Chains A and B, each alone.
Chain A
């Protein structure tokens, strides 16, 4: 279905965009995919790849370098694995895998590289690039936990004290409602938001293999 016309799609505006398009020509470092399995690509070449660097395939799918071996590089794919085949070319992007963060990210849905997925346009405001792989702050640098966090579930709130910023494990068999408890806790923070003292909740969805 063709989407409705946007105001920015006047010919003049598009013409100016065309004039300002950059198509630089330069030597790029490349590698060839030798093996793909389980979302991990083994790539021959890329002798100067750095750990945690972003790589780009011909069809736009990105990967993160996880393994630097003597003659090959192991990279984790950040996209559909069935679109990447053996023999494809991979380029270095010279960027360490990082995500832009700032006040503008609150209320948005983003993928691991910070690209918005909710169709609400670019993320505005001042953004800082934070690396995806970095050491968590040690216990000395963490604030003490001294405010309670209500889950809204009577059974849990009455028996198990949970604090804001505390790490809590929800363990159980599959399809027993572990994610539902976490989502319910996030939804329950609405009352705090309405009081003017919001609890910032970040939901990180990690899918199952397959």
Chain B
């Protein structure tokens, strides 16, 4: 029930510690890799700040909240640095769209934008653009799914 409060307190502590050592960016990069794919860091050394932090969690028996804390830390870092993470998923690579959307976000929010682009042929066409908590799903796959659901509702038959 208090997972949110506890996680945010630990995340704030980790952020302030990494800010004081001046290595917040490196720690954040490693944390993002850890969150995306824990196996990618196998055999590699953790940043010393992270090592100390994990020891603290083990000592305080809060390791079950690690995922929540790391997610909060990443959000806190980017918020403090004034950077917005924007994710663009397209069916084929479209560099012009990436540049346009990045400029759009920069103009609307006034913050620096970090674009993360991904190509996913399963979208069939169109794109899925996510910034902060907002997502614009303009993919053909989603349109087909919406049409399919409306057909099912209108005809009372699973299509």
Interface residues of A (CB under 8 A from B): 3, 6, 8-9, 17-18, 21-23, 25-31, 34-35, 42, 44-48, 60, 67, 69-72, 89, 91, 121-122
**Interface contacts beyond A28-B135, A45-B133, A71-B75: sample of 8 additional A-B pairs, CB < 8 Å, sorted by A:** A17-B155, A25-B136, A30-B130, A42-B68, A60-B149, A71-B8, A71-B71, A122-B156
Asked whether, in the complex, the Cβ of B67 is within 8 Å of the Cβ of A34, the reply is: yes
Given contacts A21-B147, A23-B143, A67-B1, contact A8 B133 (CB under 8 A): no
Asked whether, in the complex, the Cβ of A44 is within 8 Å of the Cβ of B150, the reply is: no
Q: Tell yes or no: B154 within 8 A of A by CB.
A: yes
The SS class assigned to the B binding surface is helix
Q: Tell yes or no: B3 within 8 A of A by CB.
A: yes
Q: Tell yes or no: B7 within 8 A of A by CB.
A: yes
Asked whether, in the complex, the Cβ of B157 is within 8 Å of the Cβ of A27, the reply is: no
Q: Tell yes or no: B72 within 8 A of A by CB.
A: yes
Q: Which residues of A contact B8 (CB under 8 A)?
A: 70-71
Asked whether, in the complex, the Cβ of A23 is within 8 Å of the Cβ of B147, the reply is: yes
Asked whether, in the complex, the Cβ of B5 is within 8 Å of the Cβ of A22, the reply is: no
Shortest Cβ distance from A101 into chain B, in angstroms? 19
21 interchain pairs, CB-CB under 8 A: A6-B155, A9-B155, A21-B147, A25-B136, A25-B138, A28-B137, A30-B130, A30-B133, A34-B67, A42-B3, A44-B68, A48-B133, A69-B1, A70-B8, A71-B4, A71-B8, A71-B71, A71-B72, A91-B135, A121-B156, A122-B156
Shortest Cβ distance from A53 into chain B, in angstroms? 14
Q: Which residues of A contact B107 (CB under 8 A)?
A: none
Q: Tell yes or no: B58 within 8 A of A by CB.
A: no
Partner of B133, one of A17, A46, A60, A70: A46
Q: Which residues of B contact A8 (CB under 8 A)?
A: 155
Q: Which residues of B contact A42 (CB under 8 A)?
A: 3, 68
Shortest Cβ distance from B108 into chain A, in angstroms? 12
Asked whether, in the complex, the Cβ of A31 is within 8 Å of the Cβ of B143, the reply is: no
Q: Which residues of A contact B147 (CB under 8 A)?
A: 18, 21, 23
Q: Which residue of B lies closest to A8 (CB)?
A: B155
Q: Tell yes or no: B151 within 8 A of A by CB.
A: yes
Q: Tell yes or no: B134 within 8 A of A by CB.
A: yes
